[in-house]
């Protein structure tokens, strides 16, 4: 069966929603390279699930970069989707942003599954990508497959993201073969914070940059459908983007990726601190603080609850002895 490529609003990659319904086990990705008034090279790629027994590739135009943002609950995911964000990442950044851990290492597979399921319940069309927590992949093959598979089967994710390195090439290949779409992640991989000595820039020497480019190629060859590049020089990200056919999504990686991702709480103004490459676009913490303060002082002053917040039942006949 040939799959027709349909025109969807240029603003979003909601075509992924179409793909989602066409082929839940596969993911399509559409991207446009922003080569600053030179070549615009869009591409579109998806696999159709085995019931259709065919794969179609085609080209489509899309002028705007892919947008990805993290969310960890249904309420926020609904807002993020309604804003037209293409991909919702249920990042293991949940560890520091909403679960109160010092870093992402303690996040458990159950916490990640529960948060992914909530995000899935809060969304209709957005592509939901579940970030695999520290040590939930790579320790043992069958456990890796079970953990990643349950993100799709139980939690409703459309794909998983793996913090990547030489050890994830084979894992990416295996998961992809099994129908679990993989988003790779190179550059700064926060699960390696104890080896990196902090959340430091990566790919800053020619050798390190070449290693990232090679690993990016390896993950593409292994079947990754897209690649996150974190905290790497813009020229390294540009080079990787030119080299690969799959889209790159940058965070602290400059403007020449096919898309951008940030942590939702940083964007909204809920984080205590944001990394140097992020940007706060709102002040939700101020709004929340004002609302909670106003509530507290209304209760303390007796202004709340007012008459309209409760009612009296006129026909009640209390026993005078009680
Ligand atoms: O966990 C996360 O939020 C991430 C993004 C920052 C890419 O991995």
Tell me which of 228, 231, 264 to substitute to probe ligand 1's pocket, judged by most ligand atoms within 8 Å of the beta carbon. 228
In this predicted structure, what is the pLDDT of residue 320?
A: 65
Ligand 1 pocket by Cβ (under 6 Å): 70, 89, 91-93, 131, 228, 230, 251, 261, 263
In this predicted structure, what is the pLDDT of residue 126?
A: 83
In this predicted structure, what is the pLDDT of residue 64?
A: 79
Write the residue with the smallest CA distance to atom 4 of ligand 1. Answer: 91
Residue 15: which of 153, 125, 173, 143 has the closest Cα?
125
pTM of the model: 0.83
The stretch 195-220 carries a mean pLDDT of 96
Residue 161: which of 240, 105, 229, 110 has the closest Cα?
229
In this predicted structure, what is the pLDDT of residue 20?
A: 33
Q: How far is CA 193 from CA 72, 98, 309, 313, in A?
A: 22, 19, 51, 61
Give per-residue pLDDT as tens, 94-121: 999 999 999 999 999 999 999 999 999 9
User: What DSSP string describes 179-228?
Assistant: T--EEEEEE--GGGHHHHTSS-----SHHHHHHHHHHHHHHHHHT-SEEE
Lowest mean pLDDT among 2-11, 98-107, 286-295: 2-11
Query: Does 39 score more than 90 pLDDT?
Result: no
User: Among all residues, which ones are annotated catalytic?
Assistant: 230
Tokens standing for residue 208: 């390190």
Give per-residue pLDDT as tens, 15-28: 343 333 333 333 44
Write the residue with the smallest CA distance to atom 8 of ligand 1. Answer: 91
The stretch 247-272 carries a mean pLDDT of 96
Mean pLDDT (the chain) is 84
In this predicted structure, what is the pLDDT of residue 17?
A: 37
From ligand 1's centre to the CA of 286, what distance in Å? 24
Rg (CA), the chain: 23
Q: Which ligand 1 atom sits nearest the alpha carbon of residue 228?
A: 7
Q: Which ligand 1 atom sits nearest the alpha carbon of residue 261?
A: 7
User: 288: Cβ–Cβ under 8 A, 6 or more apart, which residues?
Assistant: 270
Write the residue with the smallest CA distance to atom 5 of ligand 1. Answer: 91
Cα–Cα distance, 80 to 62 (Å, whole number): 21
Do residues 62 and 33 touch, judged by C-beta distance below 8 A?
Answer: no
Query: Does 300 score more than 90 pLDDT?
Result: yes
From ligand 1's centre to the CA of 130, what distance in Å? 10
The stretch 170-199 carries a mean pLDDT of 95
In this predicted structure, what is the pLDDT of residue 63?
A: 63
SS3 label, residue 168? helix
Question: What pLDDT band is residue 322 in, cutting at 50, 70 and 90?
Answer: low
From ligand 1's centre to the CA of 263, what distance in Å? 6
Q: Which ligand 1 atom sits nearest the alpha carbon of residue 93?
A: 1
Residue 224: which of 188, 256, 183, 175 has the closest Cα?
183
Write the residue with the smallest CA distance to atom 1 of ligand 1. Answer: 91
Give per-residue pLDDT as tens, 45-98: 333 222 222 222 222 345 678 899 999 999 999 999 999 898 999 999 999 999
* Domains by residue range for the chain, with CATH: 65-262 (3.20.20.60)
The stretch 185-189 carries a mean pLDDT of 98
From ligand 1's centre to the CA of 228, what distance in Å? 9
């Amino acid at each position: 069966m040939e799959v027709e490529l349909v025109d969807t609003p240029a603003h979003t990659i909601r075509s992924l929603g179409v793909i989602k319904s066409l082929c839940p086990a596969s993911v399509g990705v559409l991207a446009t390279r922003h080569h600053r008034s030179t070549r615009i090279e869009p591409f579109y790629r998806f696999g159709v699930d085995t019931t259709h027994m065919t794969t179609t590739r085609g080209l489509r135009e899309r002028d705007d970069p892919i947008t990805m943002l993290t969310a960890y609950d249904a309420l926020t995911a609904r807002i993020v989707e309604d804003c037209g964000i293409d991909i919702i990442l249920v990042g293991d950044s949940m560890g520091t942003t909403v679960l109160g851990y010092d870093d992402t290492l303690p996040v458990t597979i159950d916490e990640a599954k529960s948060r992914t399921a909530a995000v899935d319940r809060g969304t209709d069309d957005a592509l939901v990508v579940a970030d695999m927590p520290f040590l939930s992949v790579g320790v043992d093959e069958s456990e890796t497959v079970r953990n990643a598979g349950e993100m799709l089967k139980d939690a409703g994710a459309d794909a998983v993201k793996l913090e990547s390195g030489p050890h994830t090439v084979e894992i990416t290949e295996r998961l992809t073969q099994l129908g679990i779409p993989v988003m790779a992640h190179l550059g700064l991989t926060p699960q390696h914070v104890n080896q990196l000595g902090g959340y430091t820039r990566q790919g800053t020497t020619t050798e390190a940059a070449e290693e990232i480019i090679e690993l990016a190629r390896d993950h593409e060859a292994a079947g990754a459908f897209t690649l996150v590049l974190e905290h790497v020089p813009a020229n390294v990200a540009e080079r990787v983007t030119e080299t690969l056919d799959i889209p790159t999504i940058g965070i602290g990686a400059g403007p020449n990726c096919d898309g951008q991702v940030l942590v939702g709480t940083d964007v909204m103004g809920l984080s205590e601190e944001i990394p140097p490459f992020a940007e706060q676009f709102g002040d939700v913490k101020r709004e929340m603080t004002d609302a909670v303060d106003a509530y507290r002082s209304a209760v303390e002053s007796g202004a709340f609850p007012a008459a309209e917040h409760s009612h009296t039942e006129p026909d009640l006949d209390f026993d005078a002895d009680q």
